[in-house]
Amino acid sequence: MYWLDVAGPQRRALDLVVDEFAGIVSAMQAPHILLGIGGGIAAYKAPELVRQFRKLGAEIIPVVTEAATHLVSPLALQAVSGNTPRGKLWDADAEAGMGHIELARWADALVIAPATANRLATMAQGSAQDLLSTIYLATVAPVFIAPAMNTRMWEHPATVRNVETVLGDGVRMIGPDDGEQACGEFGPGRMSEPDAIAEWVLDSLEISNLLSGVNVLLTSGPTREHIDPVRYITNKSSGKQGFALATAFRQLGADVKVVTGPVHVARPTGIEYVDVQSASEMKSAVEAEVDQADIFIAVAAVADYRPVQALDQKIKKSEQNKDGLVLELTENDDIVKFVANRAKKPFVVGFAAETREAIRFAREKRARKNLDAIVVNDVSDTRIGFDSAENAVTLIFEGKEVELPQMSKNAIAKRLADEISQRFLHRSN
Ligand code: PMT
């Protein structure tokens, strides 16, 4: 075992250090943070990060990679966290206490700081090679990373790809900061400061009671319109923006339900999901839920048309079709318009995916569909909108427009949720 089991006088000395925090930490409401420490030089900041978390009321169990033990003392981590650091997957004693799956379940958040280039690669591949990577795959808690590495490593295309993959999987990232690095180079790659990381994580976990008792119903993701048993019409929506918005409303204290088309991104916790495939299934699910909704948000990229006939058998190439095949389509019901024109109407927000004259078309769409607000993104820009980690949108209410420049979908979602809740809470009807 490369960390120490501490007992006797040494244990009492540690208890004294731990007592330093006793007045600050309320065990009753302390969020549980698993702190994964990667093997980068910034690991030396880990005890300070633990201290900052505890100062803000969190309970910490450090999970130390083998490489990190060369840079930070498990004894110091035990002293400041008050918990025995964990590190080995194959540690019978530790597993008998709290096994890796139990650790993954215990966590309200998994924070990986520093997240090294190697750790990002491991996460991107989904490989379960050590305790930390196993916990990463097993937990449903939100995951936060604070990368730290040499500037050139950070800018290497392989790292860029891995970061994109990991963010696409729903991981949230802070930093890295710019500045002088331990290796003497300047540029991005420094781990963010411990106080900033701790504040950011706990702020993101916080659930306010602003929308307590408010039911929010969202549609999210693409729909699939079947042509035959193996072919369908769909689009590039990943569900990222919808899930980010669901999370943001959850953090404001709302009860959130998402009617989701088929997506492959991780599902945030604390939210109810209704799975659908086609636009007509999405409409039926919304019809079944909308009576309870106070706010309805249509983020989904719903197919406007579906094949007139979904065939039971796979279409075969044949003599009959040798000059081409005509697929006849019919229009789907407009779900958001249906909700916005009900007698018992929630506060309704639509999205608009436009490729030109975005603002003008979105204003018209808002009025035509009788929406309280519309969020428009210019999907001709491939850096934002469909299946990207970031977005840039304009939120249009009657008499007020808010432009949100390019940022992560989580950050956009937070801003949208704040604006929409304020408008909802101060509406006149
Ligand atoms: O899922 P991501 O990869 O994160 O991408 C996010 C997004 C680009 C899908 C999202 O930001 C977005 O723009 N969603 C709306 C996409 C869309 O279908 O836009 P639209 O302009 O075609 O539709 C306008 C509104 O009517 C939308 O609120 C849509 O949900 C709704 N609609 C459309 C057709 C239909 N039959 N029923 C509907 O409710």
429: helix, strand or coil: coil
Interval between CA 304 and ligand 1 midpoint (Å): 10
Mutate to test the pocket of ligand 1, among 245, 351, 380, 383 (most ligand atoms within 8 A of CB): 351
Question: 122-128: long-range contacts at Cβ-Cβ below 8 A with a sequence spacing of 24 or more?
Answer: 123/162, 123/165, 123/166, 123/169, 123/171, 124/161, 124/162, 124/165, 124/166
Interval between CA 218 and ligand 1 midpoint (Å): 11
Which residue's CA is the closest to the ligand 1 atom numbered 36?
Answer: 334
Which residue's CA is the closest to the ligand 1 atom numbered 21?
Answer: 352
Q: Residue 201 CB: number of other CB atoms within 10 A?
A: 28
Mutate to test the pocket of ligand 1, among 217, 278, 305, 336 (most ligand atoms within 8 A of CB): 336
Query: How distant, in Å, are the alpha carbons of 235, 267, 389 from that of 238?
Result: 9, 12, 10
pLDDT attached to residue 27: 32
Contact indicator for 298, 241 with CB cutoff of 8 Å? no
63: helix, strand or coil: strand
Task: Give CA–CA dist 113/116, Å, rounded.
Answer: 8
Interval between CA 279 and ligand 1 midpoint (Å): 12
Residues marked as catalytic: 183
Can you tell me which atom of ligand 1 is nearest the CA of 338?
Answer: 39
Which residue's CA is the closest to the ligand 1 atom numbered 10?
Answer: 299
pLDDT in single tens digits along all 429 residues of the chain: 233 333 343 433 333 333 333 333 333 368 999 999 999 999 999 999 999 999 999 999 999 999 999 999 999 999 999 999 999 887 777 777 778 888 998 999 999 999 999 999 999 999 999 999 999 999 988 899 999 999 999 999 999 999 999 988 889 899 898 877 777 778 889 999 999 999 889 988 877 889 999 999 999 999 999 999 999 999 999 999 999 999 999 989 999 999 999 998 878 778 999 999 999 999 999 999 999 999 999 999 999 999 999 999 999 888 888 889 899 999 999 999 999 999 999 999 999 999 999 999 999 999 999 999 999 999 899 899 999 888 999 999 999 999 999 988 888 998 999 999 999 999 865
**Helix count (H) and strand count (E) of the chain?**
15, 19
Residue in the structure block whose two tokens are 């890295």: 176
178: helix, strand or coil: strand
Task: Give CA–CA dist 61/50, Å, rounded.
Answer: 9
Pairing status of strand 59-64 against strand 295-298 = unpaired
Interval between CA 346 and ligand 1 midpoint (Å): 18
User: With 0-12 CB in 10 A as exposed, 13-18 as middle and 19+ as buried, what is 19?
Assistant: exposed
Can you tell me which atom of ligand 1 is nearest the CA of 352?
Answer: 21
Task: Please write down the HEC assignment for all residues of 66-114.
Answer: CHHHHCCCHHHHHHHHCCCCECCCCCHHHHHHCCHHHHHHHCCEEEEEE
Token pair for 214: 């408010």
Which residue's CA is the closest to the ligand 1 atom numbered 17?
Answer: 301
Interval between CA 349 and ligand 1 midpoint (Å): 11
Can you tell me which atom of ligand 1 is nearest the CA of 235?
Answer: 9
HSE-CB at 65 with a 13 A cutoff on CA atoms is 26
Q: Residue 13 CB: number of other CB atoms within 10 A?
A: 12
Interval between CA 18 and ligand 1 midpoint (Å): 51
Which residue's CA is the closest to the ligand 1 atom numbered 14?
Answer: 299
Query: How distant, in Å, are the alpha carbons of 43, 333, 390, 405 from that of 89?
Result: 20, 52, 35, 43
pLDDT attached to residue 7: 39
Contact indicator for 56, 195 with CB cutoff of 8 Å? no
pLDDT attached to residue 82: 97
* Residues framing ligand 1 (Cβ under 6 A): 219, 221, 237-242, 279, 298-302, 304, 332, 334-336, 350-353, 377, 379, 385-387
| Beta strand spans in 208-301 (E) | 215-220, 225-228, 231-233, 255-260, 272-275, 295-298
Contacts of residue 89, defined as CB under 8 A and 6 or more positions apart, other chains included, come to 100, 130, 131, 134
Rounding to the nearest 10 degrees, give the CA dihedral for residues 126, 130, 136, 140. Answer: 110
Task: Give CA–CA dist 130/88, Å, rounded.
Answer: 7
Write down all domains in the chain, each with its CATH number in brackets.
31-204 (3.40.50.1950), 215-428 (3.40.50.10300)
227: helix, strand or coil: strand
DSSP single-letter state for residue 222: B
Query: How distant, in Å, are the alpha carbons of 111, 145, 150, 154, 179 from that of 176?
Result: 14, 10, 10, 9, 10
Can you tell me which atom of ligand 1 is nearest the CA of 332?
Answer: 36
Can you tell me which atom of ligand 1 is nearest the CA of 244?
Answer: 4
Does residue 82 come out as left (phi exceeding 0), alpha (psi in the -120 to 50 range) or beta? left
Interval between CA 350 and ligand 1 midpoint (Å): 7
The neighbouring-strand residues paired with 63 are 36, 86
The neighbouring-strand residues paired with 349 are 297, 373
Opening angle at CA 125, ends 123 and 131, nearest 5: 50
pLDDT attached to residue 429: 58
